[in-house]
Structure 1
Amino acid sequence: MEPSYQPNRFRRKAVQVEEAQRKIIELVRLGESEVVRLEDAFGRRLACDVHAANDMPHFRRSGMDGFAVQAEATAGASPESPVTLEVIENIPCGSRPAKAVNGKTASRIMTGAMVPDGADAVIMLEMTETFERDGKTFISIKKEILAGQNVAPIGVEVTTGELILEKGAKINAGEAALLAAFGIGELSVFKRPRVAIFSTGSELLDIHSPLEPGKIRNSNTYMLAMLVRDAGGIPQLHESIPDDAELAMRRISAAMAASDFVITTGGVSVGDYDIMADIFDAWDGTMLFNKVTMRPGSPTTAGMWKEKFLFALSGNPGACFVGFELFVRPVLWGMQGKMEVTPPKATAFLGEDFQKVNAYHRFVRGKSYVENGRLLVKQTGPDRSSLMLSIKDSDCLIVIPPGGSGTSAGELVDIIKLGWAE
């Protein structure tokens, strides 16, 4: 196919990053749900609220190895005037006490065991002395203990019916422990979005192919696949597309029908062979934006076709990476019920000068670190969108405002935490 010279690719209206994100987020729709076993739920997001089926703990629980006593029985206890109590029972974890405690008795108890009736405190083992007399066991207490000390009352953590996990919560180790504690072995989670990924450009080689002059291996597809998987999606990798707009339209349309949305990388600028610009000129979908006031990745483009997103990201690895974090990850998170879908922001002190001046906000791949109690950040390599080595060392994007004469070390800057640090 001969290169198409479409005038619309030169008439682009730039939108701010926040406006582009708003246009996307307001169109995100929740995905379908499915039921999975708890052991298979790691990294998934809940499709419904979860409430406590019982109090936690559902019995009065000892917080120490020691003796269950009535606190008032220890009143006045001191090294000079110790209190003596008879030990009437040994209570291991998992057993139910058989005897109640009164003002003259105590029960040996283990951490996590059920506190017997009559007892309202547990005194630490180290604060007692044990002795035998007339075939019976006694303890000597030389310090007063307060009522409620070392005893977890019923429902102190959670009460019956209380909301314990919200819809959209991500299942990690702590969430799994909580669900298991309430006997929840199966749960409803959002399905993982299926995302078709295409790289475009006749210069691309398969990763197993030997290098050729003027050609490069297709690395962006695999970077995007890992980012999609990290955000909870299922990447569907497709063969790269040469500079042929008609072929690209056929393949992308077929992928749209078989997936939840499509990401392309490359061919989105204003060059003669930038085929994604031609597709957005010719298709029957809705254009959301085709230029963003940012560097790198200003030609980043997004549209909707039959309620499915099509993202056209830059072919430069750095710009592709930034475009995913700012615009694609929010969609994946939103489809899986996450409440806050834009990457979290923070502030840090710039650890080194940044002298580039630009008309747009610049999103620099950065690494954060702590020095003398302050959070600092510095770029991970040369700020060029074509470079990929700096991606692997980044944990944030440093936001450099437009204009001025650069940003100096020690200045406070905004940073965007990368999604995998969620």
Structure 2
Amino acid sequence: MTSMDSHRFHRQAVSPDEARSRILQHVRPLGAETVPLGEALGRSSAEAAAASHPFPPYRRSAMDGYAVRAMDLPDGAQHEPAVLEVLESLPAGEVPKRVVGTGQASRIMTGAMLPEGADTVVMLEVTETERINGREYVRIRKPVAEGRNVADIGGEFQPGDELFPTGRVIGAGEVALAAAFGHANLQVIRRPRVAILSTGSELLSVDEPLRPGKIRNSNAVMLAALLREAGAEPVLLGHAADDADRAERIIRGALAECDMTITTGGISVGDQDILVDILARWEGTTLFNKVAMRPGSPTTAAVLNGKLLLALSGNPGASFVGFHLFAVPAIRTMLCAEPQPVTIEARLAEPFTKVNAFPRFIRARTEFRDAEIWVRPTGADQSSLMKTIVDADCLLVLPPLKQGIGEGERVTAILLKQGVSR
């Protein structure tokens, strides 16, 4: 038996957790770049952002009403309303000109700066106004606790408080916080550039007409979409026929130019599975060439010159599963995010009767019923099926089973769309 045959047929299976661990040992966070705040949405922060001043930076009103001294209001025991002279009207953005003293108030709008002397805001809806001798007064019949409806200086953030940590995906809230503290530019992690190469003489480009014995290359565009969802930049290399020499040249070039390379197809035991031949003869290090799981047990990973090659199954369902189990943690590590998948406990929404020799990762969707999470397979558990990918928002994880598992049983599921950070 040749060394290539040995590489093809004699494989030592590792657990999915061990496979992920071996991958992550060879992945490091990428460098940072500075981008304008408006371009930071969806990127992963490269440094923690901190408050540069207290927020709110001044005492401000939380609603429309009147800024008063609480001690001037009825105390609950007295039945007479407080009648306070109105000094001025304060819209947001104006600096008060008058100090509120005994028996006085200032009309104030939401977000406006509280005048000196005032400690409370009475909401507009519980007041009445009147003019007496040409002056405006406000009548207040109920007590209001001191400090009510007032946002104090630094009530939300003190100088130096963390706005968001390293590795956080910049969303609308993070953008708002950065803007509030004058961060016009943000340091973000550079997006990983991930090459995608599909192998197989049976593949056609998406725009080519079908021919006998051929199929269109759906894996590449699926993986490109998944990479974008994960925060990476896909580099599509097209597809290579079953020519190991040509495929190896493409892969070497991709590993030199990109941060990671993903291939699909060519990793099983068939005569045309060219990735097996490439990995058997080159100087790179094979991390594993079989994973104890279904689907996608031939999934393989290797490293050349510090760059990761992840070889996924050519079957769409298995490629989808392998991407989430192994590519996503690597990308999240590059983006300084937590690599371990998010798992949930749920109930199985329908019986699963297939016997498992290996753990199974089944495309499934979550449902909410009676205040509990249920998971339902999106179709038959076959690695070649594409339609099971469409509605999948989780992977149902089933351990090796000698018999099926019934509806309502407790199961574990891996959430898929978790973003780049949490």
TM-score w.r.t. the length of structure 1 is 0.97
Question: 1:114 matched to which residue of 2?
Answer: 113
RMSD: 1.5
CA distance in 1, matches of 2:108, 2:78: 23
Give the alignment of 1:55-94 within 5 angstroms. Answer: 55-77=54-76, 80-94=79-93
Kept in 2, the 8 Å contact 1:325–1:418? The answer is yes
Query: CA shift at 1:80, angstroms?
Result: 3.0
Q: Which residue, 385, 396, 399 being the options, matches 2:397?
A: 399
The aligned amino acid for 1:417 is L
Q: Does 1:356 align with 2:354?
A: yes
Residue 421 of structure 1 and its aligned partner are, at CA, apart by 5.8
Deviation of 1:4 after TM superposition, in Å, equals 9.3
Partner of 2:233: 234
Q: SS of 2:173's equivalent?
A: helix
1:167-224 CA-partner distances (Å, limit 9, x unpaired):
1111111111111111111111111111110000111111111111111111101111
**Distance (whole Å) between structure 2 residues aligned to residue 71 and residue 21 of structure 1:** 62
Q: Could you tell me whether the CA contact under 8 Å between 1:396 and 1:415 is conserved in 2?
A: yes
Q: Is the 8 A contact 1:79 1:142 kept in 2?
A: no
Other structure's SS at 2:329 match: helix
Sequence identity (%): 49
Contact 2:365-2:378 at 8 Å conserved across structures: yes
Report deviation, 1:79: 8.1
CA distance in structure 2 between the aligned counterparts of 1:29 and 1:91, rounded to whole angstroms: 54
| Counterparts of 2:166 and 2:140, CA distance in 1 | 50
CA shift for structure 1 position 100: 1.1
Kept in 2, the 8 Å contact 1:4–1:278? The answer is: no
1:76 aligns to what SS in structure 2?
coil
What residue in structure 2 maps to residue 260 of structure 1? 259
Gaps of 5+ in 1: none
State the Cα deviation string for residues 20-40 of structure 1 (Å, max 9, x = none): 111122322111211111111
Q: Distance in 2 between matches of 1:15 and 1:206?
A: 34
Deviation at 1:46, TM superposition (A): 1.1
Equivalent residue for 1:288? 287
How far does the alpha carbon of each residue in 1:228-273 deviate from its partner, in whole angstroms, 9 at most, with x for none?
Answer: 1111111111121111111111111111111111100001111111
In structure 2, the residue matched to 1:371 is 369
Structure 1 residues 386, 315: closer, same or farther in 2, change over 3 A?
A: same
Aligned residues: 419
Q: 1:51/1:95 Cα in 2 relative to 1: closer, same or farther (>3 Å)? A: same
- 1:329 to 2:328 alignment: yes
Alignment partners' CA distance in 2, 1:44 and 1:36? 10
Partner residue in 2 for 1:417: 415
- Equivalent residue, structure 1, for 2:340: 342
Give the residue type in structure 1 aligned to 2:200: G
- C-alpha contact 1:88 1:107 (8 A) present in aligned 2: yes
Partner of 1:363, secondary structure, is strand
Q: Quote the residue 1:190 is aligned against.
A: 189
- Equivalents in 1 of 2:419, 2:248: separation in Å? 35
Distance between the aligned counterparts of 1:306 and 1:79, measured in 2? 83
Whether 2:126 is the aligned partner of 1:127: answer yes
Secondary structure at the aligned position of 2:19 is classed as helix
Deviation at 1:77, TM superposition (A): 4.9
CA spacing shift, 1:383–1:269, aligned 2, 3 Å: same
How many angstroms apart in 2 are the aligned matches of 1:70 and 1:240? Answer: 75
- Per-residue deviation, residues 138-173 of structure 1 (Å, max 9, x unmatched): 111111111111101111111111111111111111
Distance change in 2, residues 1:79/1:377 (3 Å):
farther
Separation in 2 of the partners of 1:33 and 1:325? 25
**CA 1:356–1:79: 2 relative to 1, 3 Å:** farther
Summarize deviations over 1:59-97 as a string: whole Å, max 9, x none.
011111110111111142578311111111111001111
* Residue 95 (structure 1) aligns with: 94
Q: Are 1:318 and 2:311 matched, yes or no?
A: no
Question: Is the contact made by 2:54 and 2:159 (CA closer than 8 Å) also made in structure 1?
Answer: yes
Match of residue 153 from structure 1: 152
2:305 is aligned to 306
Once the two structures are overlaid, the 10-residue window that deviates more, 318-327 or 184-193, is 184-193
What is the alpha-carbon distance in structure 1 between the residues aligned to residue 287 and residue 123 of structure 2?
A: 66
Q: Is the 8 A contact 2:74 2:81 kept in 1?
A: no
Answer yes or no: is the 8 Å Cα contact 1:5–1:272 preserved in 2: no
3-state DSSP class of the match of 1:348? strand
**Counterpart of 1:392 in structure 2: which amino acid?**
V
Instruction: State the shift of 1:347 in Å.
Output: 1.1
- Check the 8 A contact 2:65/2:108 in 1, yes or no: yes
Q: Which segments of 5 or more consecutive residues in structure 2 lack a partner in the other structure?
A: none
* 1:253-300 deviation digits (Å, cap 9, x = unpaired): 111111111100001111111111111111111111111111101111
Deviation at 1:127, TM superposition (A): 1.3
Q: Find the counterpart in structure 2 of residue 49 from structure 1.
A: 48
Paired AA for residue 147 in structure 2: G
- In structure 2, what is the Cα distance between the partners aligned to 1:399 and 1:39? 39
C-alpha separation in 2, matches of 1:375 and 1:276: 40
Partner residue in 2 for 1:13: 12
Check conservation: 1:325, 1:419, Cα contact below 8 A: no
Q: Distance in 2 between matches of 1:146 and 1:205?
A: 73
1:270 aligned onto 2:290: no
User: Counterpart of 1:308 in structure 2: which amino acid?
Assistant: K
1:384 aligns with 2:376: no
Aligned to 1:199: 198
Runs of 4+ displaced beyond 4 Å: none
Cα-to-partner distance string for 1:308-328 (whole Å, 9 max, x where unaligned): 100000000000000000100
Task: Name the CA distance, whole Å, in 2 between partners of 1:212 and 1:315.
Answer: 19
Distance in 2 between residues matched to 1:5 and 1:20, nearest whole Å: 22
Question: Does the CA contact (< 8 Å) of 2:230 and 2:419 recur in 1?
Answer: no
Residue matched to 2:214: 215
State the shift of 1:103 in Å.
2.3
